[in-house]
Structure formats: structure tokens, C-alpha cells
Amino acid sequence: MSRVAAADADGAVEIISLRIEVPRECDGWRLDHFLKRRIGRLSRTRIQDIIATQVTLSDGRRPRSSASVHAGQIIHLDRPAPIEPEVPRHFDVIYEDADVLAIEKPAGLPMHPTAKFYRNTLTALLRERYPDEPLQIAHRIDRETSGVLLIARTPSAASWLKRAFARRAVDKSYLALVKGQPPDEGVIDQPIKLLDTPSHVMMGPASDGLKAVTRFRVVQRFAAHALCAAHPETGRQHQIRVHLAAIGHAIVGDKLYGAGERFFMRSCDEESGDGLSDELLALFDGLPRHALHAHRLTFPHPRTRAPMTIESPLPPDLVAYVARL
């Protein structure tokens, strides 16, 4: 199924405005390389065309493709709104007070706008549900990952929580259903980095990568699988997925690090149409998303500074999958 730009009631192409902040790990990159990573699998020619026609800097200038970007810099992108794939548009609130929201993010809901998603994102849903609040998401989890997510309700709470994550004062625990029989417990200490591969999103172990450490222990064993509690001591992109795959125990349903990049890229195309084919679903262990769940967060509360723990149980889709093992 082809994807075209969305139009308003009068048939005019709707334009969406995105503010893309450059993360620390992309400091010093060329603008075209950064956008190629940030907005998906586009050709170099298409990226250069987007920069020439849709990208401006905060001062209103149009940059060159070869311009360097810097951590914290805001890139402004005005582009035609896409027809978006369907996603879950409901989330439950686990806890709330004047400073913090803790929600249960459903698998499949992206957090921020991308080339494929704009309205069907958590940030858009938060604006709809809390239109008068300056909410800020305090950390990130992958689109296919479900579970606990912290959201600050005030600028001061946002600043406190983001600093807490940066200084590793937040204890994160995930539940991951993996293939095979890993050791009862272990520590995976392998630097990882973004790899130069066709998808431009694949991370991998690399001696010159950023330090990454994950502790894990087996919670329950099955004939050919194990449910593990995983505790990332660092917060690298895709860290748990990369580390578990690196020791030979990929997460069930992981399209990128389990089935492989070629099938991951096919799934991106199919999900933009009528959904995953039976063939691809079988390659993904019969699970349409990866079996990773953000189970528990312990963090210092931004007002009281006292430790607070928020938990989310394994969601129904993973409970049902485990019951069949």
C-alpha cells in the first residue's frame, strides 16, 4: 500500500512542524548523517532534498547538508503530514501527584514524532489528555517495549528527573523473555555503538563504542525459553536487546536483533501497509512485538527526594504468550 501525505478538509496538504533535538551521542555529526538516522530509511538524495526544502535552524537559516550538528541543538523540520499506521492510543496512569505522572506505555506506541508518526505518538496523546500542562517525558523506551514511563508535570520536576537519570540515580528493571537457556545470572559488560548498516538504526558491540553494562538473572525457565529480569546500569539505545542477543539469547519477537536486519526492514514496509504477513510473523516467533517490558522504576521523587518505586506487571499479550510455552 502506498503512503501519501495527509490533507485537510479542503484537500490542501497538511504541514507538520517538528523540533528535533540533537542528542549527545550525535554531537559533531554531519547534518545529513544525523537526519538519515533520525527520520528513517531514506536515500542520501532524498535527505539532501529534505534539508534543502524543509529544514531550518533556530535562527531561520537553511543549513548545508555537510554542516555539523551539536548536542542540544534544535533542528526545525516542516514536512507534509504522513498517513500514519494504526497504534494503541490509550495508556493507563499508574501513579500521579503534582510533580509526576507514571504511565503504562502500551507496546506499539511511539514516544516522539518520526518520519512515520506524528499524531499517533505518546507526546501527541499527552497533549490531548493534558492540554494545559507543560508535560515532559523524563526518559525513553522503544516503541515495541511496554511498561513504566515517568513524565514530569513541571519544569523543575523535569530538570530533577532528567538529572537523576543522567547520574544513574534511577534503578530500572525490565522483564525480557529470551530464547534458549542463559546462565542463572550474569553481567554483560560490552561497549556498543551505532553500526554502519542499511537500516541506520542497528546498534552493536564495538570496542570503540560507549560503555554499556547490563545485569540479568533468570526469573523463570521454560523448555526453550527463559524469563529474565534485566537491569541496565547504563542507558544506551537498544542496550538490553543488543546485550542479550550478543550472548546468544535474543529477546523473543525482536525483529532487528533476533530475526535480522533484512527482515526488520521488510517488517517496516509491511507495517506501513496491511500489517505483518504470516511469513514474517512466524520469523518473529509468532509475536508482533518484542517481549521486553519496563517492569519497575525506583527514583528519587523530585519534591520529597525520597526513593519511590513504580511497578507494572507483565501485560496480557506477554502473559498469554508465556502461558503457551
* pLDDT recorded at residue 4: 37
Q: Walk along the chain (325 residues) in steps of 10 and give the mean pLDDT of each run.
A: 40 72 90 83 80 90 92 88 80 96 95 75 92 93 96 96 94 97 98 90 94 97 98 95 98 96 85 76 93 98 96 97 96
Cα-flanking dihedrals φ and ψ of residue 137, to 5°? -70, 130
- Burial group, residue 140, by CB count within 10 angstroms (0-12, 13-18, 19+): middle
Identify the pLDDT of residue 12.
54
**What per-residue confidence (pLDDT) applies to 213?**
97
- Check if the beta carbon of residue 199 is closer than 8 Å to that of residue 261: yes
Three-state DSSP at 279 gives helix
Angular region, 40: left φ>0, alpha ψ -120 to 50, beta rest? left
Contacts 24+ apart (CB under 8 A), 5-10: 5/80, 5/81, 5/82, 5/83, 6/80, 6/81, 6/82, 6/83
Q: Which cell numbers hold the place of 201?
A: 538504526
Catalytic residue positions, numbered: 142
Please, are residues 73 and 275 in contact by the beta-carbon 8 Å criterion? no
CATH code for residues 15-80: 3.10.290.10
> Helix or strand or coil: residue 221?
strand
CATH code, 92-323? 3.30.2350.10
Domains of the chain: which residue ranges?
A: 15-80, 92-323
The residue among 176, 183, 173 whose CA lies nearest residue 233 is 173
Residue 43: partners with Cβ closer than 8 Å, 6 or more residues away: none
The predicted pLDDT at position 198 comes to 86
Tell me whether domains 15-80 and 92-323 share a fold.
no
**Grid cell of 70 as nine digits:** 551539536
pLDDT recorded at residue 170: 96
First to last CA, the chain: 35
